[in-house]
Amino acid sequence: MTFSDCPYCVDGNMPAGIHDILGPVFVPCVVCGRACPTCTGDGIFPADFDCLDCFRACLTAIGLTPVHCTACLGVLDLLPTPRRPEVTPHEHLN
């Protein structure tokens, strides 16, 4: 079976609904057997981003850091970006 024959996906990508933060996402089609062996297909791919750098920059802007599968680069989790401790200016007495 080739990707174009598979009724569940487009080119091996299966739409996986709308993620709260990532928007439309897809996963590798399990029917075609393209699921990643490292994350067993748990990684999701945001459909709106072609570029990983843009994607990460966009998440950083809203205070999140994506956790990627090392093999397929699918997103496994989103973690809050650690913020730098705030510097509170204060008066020096001397």
Which spans of this chain sit near Zn ion (rule: CB under 5 A)?
A: 6, 8-9, 29, 31-32, 36, 38-39, 43, 69, 71-72, 74
Nearer to Zn ion by Cβ, of 24 and 63: the residue is 24
- Residue 12 or 58 with smaller CB distance to Zn ion: 12
CB of 89 to Zn ion, least distance (A): 46
Exposure class string for 62-72: b at 16+ Cβ within 10 A, else e: eebebebbeeb
- Residue 15 or 65 having the CB closest to Zn ion: 15
Altogether, the residues listed in the chain come to a count of: 94
